[in-house]
Amino acid sequence: MEIIVGKRIKELMEIEKINQTELANKIGVKQNTVSSWVLNKKEPNITSLWLLADYFDVDLDYLVGRKNY
């Protein structure tokens, strides 16, 4: 199973019309951290996944590509 969290973060950012810096500030990480997620250089840790899911109001399963809406 492919984990597509970077793609999902990018899509959700586009829907919310926010940039990487704004997202980083909202969830308390650095902008370069968000950039590394979007570019699939790194995957968020579980705490960051929870923060992302809460911010975007989505399931963790959706965020990591285990289910679609």
What structural domains and CATH numbers belong to the chain? 7-58 (1.10.260.40)
Considering just the CA atoms, what is the radius of gyration of the chain in Å? Answer: 11
The per-residue pLDDT for range 34-51, each reduced to its tens digit, is 999 999 999 999 999 999
For residues 33 and 23, the answer to whether their CB atoms sit within 8 Å is: no
With a cut of 90, say whether residue 66 has pLDDT above it: no
Least confident of 13-17, 18-22, 52-56, 59-63: 59-63
Sequential DSSP letters for the chain: ----HHHHHHHHHHHHT--HHHHHHHHT--HHHHHHHHTTSS---HHHHHHHHHHHT--HHHHTTS---
Full-model pTM: 0.90
